[in-house]
């Protein structure tokens, strides 16, 4: 049975403790739905609204849980400048389209 250890309302990350036959496991979970829904709303504003933001515009929001998944499963560190091409490739992949703030190719 899992027991809640901590919840961070800012990030939506919960940590759970679970006893196992061989010891214990700490599970981490993040509800990314608020980020996804906010990005869908931004995308619905259209490309023109996104372009009017000027030279500095929000292209994507990648929740911490997704950043961790990319790091552990694909070896992509979103904060590493050397991984920029891999991050852009992921963001342009249809599977991850709702991480982008506009329906554009980055």
Do 26 and 51 belong to one domain? no
Do 58 and 80 belong to one domain? yes
Do 22 and 60 belong to one domain? no
Count up the domains in the chain and report the number.
2
Do 46 and 71 belong to one domain? yes
| CA distance to 6, 62, 75, 86, 87, per residue, from 3 (Å) | 9, 27, 30, 36, 34
- Alpha carbons 67 and 70: distance in angstroms, whole number: 5
Domain range for residue 105?
A: 32-106
Query: In the prediction, which pLDDT does 19 show?
Result: 93
Do 15 and 44 belong to one domain? no
Do 20 and 56 belong to one domain? no
Mean pLDDT (whole number) for 36-60:
79
Q: Greater confidence, 75 or 47?
A: 75
The number of angstroms, rounded, from the C-alpha of 102 to the middle of its chain's C-alpha atoms is 15
Residues of the chain with pLDDT > 70, as a percent, come to 92
Q: Which of 26-30, 45-49, 76-80, 87-91 comes out lowest in average pLDDT?
A: 45-49
Query: In the prediction, which pLDDT does 96 show?
Result: 94
Query: In the prediction, which pLDDT does 50 show?
Result: 65
What mean pLDDT value characterizes the chain?
89
Do 36 and 66 belong to one domain? yes
Mean pLDDT (whole number) for 66-89:
96
Do 68 and 105 belong to one domain? yes
30, two tokens: 């993040």
């Amino acid at each position: 049975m899992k027991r809640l250890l901590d919840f961070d309302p800012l990030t939506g990350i919960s940590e759970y403790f679970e006893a196992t036959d061989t010891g214990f496991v700490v599970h981490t979970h993040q509800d990314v739905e608020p980020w996804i829904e906010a990005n869908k709303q931004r995308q619905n504003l259209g490309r023109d609204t996104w372009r009017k933001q000027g030279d500095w515009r929000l292209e994507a929001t990648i929740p911490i849980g997704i950043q961790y998944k990319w790091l552990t499963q694909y070896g992509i560190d979103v904060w590493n400048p050397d991984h920029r091409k891999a991050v852009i490739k992921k963001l342009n992949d249809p599977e991850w389209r709702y991480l982008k703030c506009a329906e554009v190719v980055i």
